[in-house]
């Protein structure tokens, strides 16, 4: 592409040019604001159950509008994640984006099929096929359920505890964490959070050693605290995902 044909991508700015993705020719740039207004009107005032079911339709429709010069897929997956996060109060324990990433070919195929025009008078009332949208909705919701099931298995307390404590034991043997680090983590796993004043009694070797253990765990990013006096809580660093929560991130393919 020649320099004169290059288009500057400005985050958050609606596209100002026509675009085609595969066989889909997106609506004209001047029409984007009008379509986004209609999009908001349709999808922003639904009840909880309707929001969950309509999340798939909203997902396709935003991609179909293609409001930005670049990054539309990522924005749409983020929107779907946020929609379900709010509607289901998931706590971000599971994400539809992860499920779609694990079946990219199926996702793209189902999404592209929704661009088809309706086959006949029984295939919806609009320009696009309602049957194809229903198929994508089924695919989308099945993907959501698979992710819930996957995270339920992954977050079984006993198994999660075992994986974390095995990691701690290895780090202690390698002299990367001080002794008694596992005791602190196990207490937090059991309680949910740990007041700093309780760490010395749990470690059992005095306040100085307790502070040393806590400091090391905070530095490794496995504990978090809002202040120097706030309770300690467990966090899940991405760097440890393969050890603590194996299979969480889709494997990279060659």
Residue 183 has pLDDT above 70, yes or no: yes
Q: Which residues of 81-99 are buried (b: 16+ CB within 10 A; e: fewer)?
A: bebbbebeebeeebbbbbb
List, as one string, the DSSP characters of 140-175.
Answer: HHHHHHHHHHHHHHHT-HHHHHHHHHHHHHHHHHTT
Q: Which one is predicted more confidently, 9 or 210?
A: 210
Among 153, 169, 192, give the residue marking a domain's end. 153
Domain total in the chain? 2
* Mean pLDDT, residues 127-154 taken together: 93
* Mean pLDDT, residues 140-154 taken together: 92
pLDDT band at 5 (very low <50, low <70, confident <90, very high): low
Which pLDDT value is given to residue 2?
Answer: 40
Rounded CA separation 83/236 (Å): 23
* Mean pLDDT, residues 109-121 taken together: 91
Contact in structure between 210 and 203 (CB atoms under 8 Å): yes
CATH number for the domain spanning 189: value is: 1.10.10.10
Rounded CA separation 136/134 (Å): 5
Residue 1 has pLDDT above 70, yes or no: no
CATH number for the domain spanning 126: value is: 1.10.3290.10
Q: Is residue 138 domain-shared with residue 200, that is, in the same domain?
A: no
Residue 254 has pLDDT above 60, yes or no: no
Q: Is residue 100 domain-shared with residue 223, that is, in the same domain?
A: no
pLDDT per residue as tens digits for the range 84-99: 999 998 888 889 999 9
| DSSP secondary structure letter of residue 9 | -
Q: Is residue 33 domain-shared with residue 84, that is, in the same domain?
A: yes
Q: Is residue 128 domain-shared with residue 161, that is, in the same domain?
A: no
The share of the chain scoring above pLDDT 70, in percent, equals 96
Range of the domain at 95: 3-153
Q: Is residue 125 domain-shared with residue 14, that is, in the same domain?
A: yes
Chain mean pLDDT for the chain: 90
- The verdict on pTM exceeding 0.75 is no
Identify the burial level of 147 via C-beta atoms within 10 angstroms of its C-beta, where 0-12 means exposed, 13-18 middle and 19 or more buried: buried
Contact in structure between 20 and 72 (CB atoms under 8 Å): no
Which pLDDT value is given to residue 91?
Answer: 80
Q: Is residue 131 domain-shared with residue 7, that is, in the same domain?
A: yes
pLDDT per residue as tens digits for the range 26-55: 999 999 999 999 999 999 989 999 999 999
Among 134, 153, 172, give the residue marking a domain's end. 153
Q: Is residue 11 domain-shared with residue 96, that is, in the same domain?
A: yes
Q: Is residue 205 domain-shared with residue 147, that is, in the same domain?
A: no
Among 118, 153, 188, give the residue marking a domain's end. 153
Q: Is residue 123 domain-shared with residue 170, that is, in the same domain?
A: no
């Amino acid at each position: 592409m020649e320099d004169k044909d290059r288009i500057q991508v400005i985050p958050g700015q609606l596209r100002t040019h026509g675009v085609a993705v595969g066989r889909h020719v997106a609506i004209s740039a001047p029409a984007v604001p009008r379509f986004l207004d209609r999009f908001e009107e349709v999808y922003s005032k639904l009840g909880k159950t309707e929001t969950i079911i309509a999340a798939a339709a909203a997902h396709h429709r935003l991609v179909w509008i293609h409001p930005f010069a670049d990054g539309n897929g990522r924005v749409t997956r983020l929107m779907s994640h946020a929609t379900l996060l709010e509607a289901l109060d998931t706590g971000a324990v599971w994400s539809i984006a992860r499920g779609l990433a694990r079946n990219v070919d199926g996702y793209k195929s189902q999404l592209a099929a929704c661009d088809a025009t309706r086959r006949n008078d029984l295939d919806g009332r609009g320009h696009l096929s309602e049957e194809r949208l229903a198929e994508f909705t089924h695919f989308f919701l099945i993907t959501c359920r698979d992710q819930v099931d996957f995270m339920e298995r992954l977050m079984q307390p006993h198994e999660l505890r075992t994986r974390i404590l095995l990691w701690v034991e290895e780090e202690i043997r390698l002299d990367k964490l001080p002794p008694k680090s596992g005791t602190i983590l196990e207490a937090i796993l059991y309680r949910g959070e740990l007041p700093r004043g309780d760490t010395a009694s749990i470690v059992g070797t005095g306040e100085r050693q307790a502070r040393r253990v806590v400091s090391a765990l905070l530095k490794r990013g496995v504990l978090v605290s809002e202040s120097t006096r706030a309770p300690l809580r467990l966090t899940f660093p991405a760097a440890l995902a393969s050890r603590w929560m194996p299979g969480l991130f889709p494997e990279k393919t060659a």
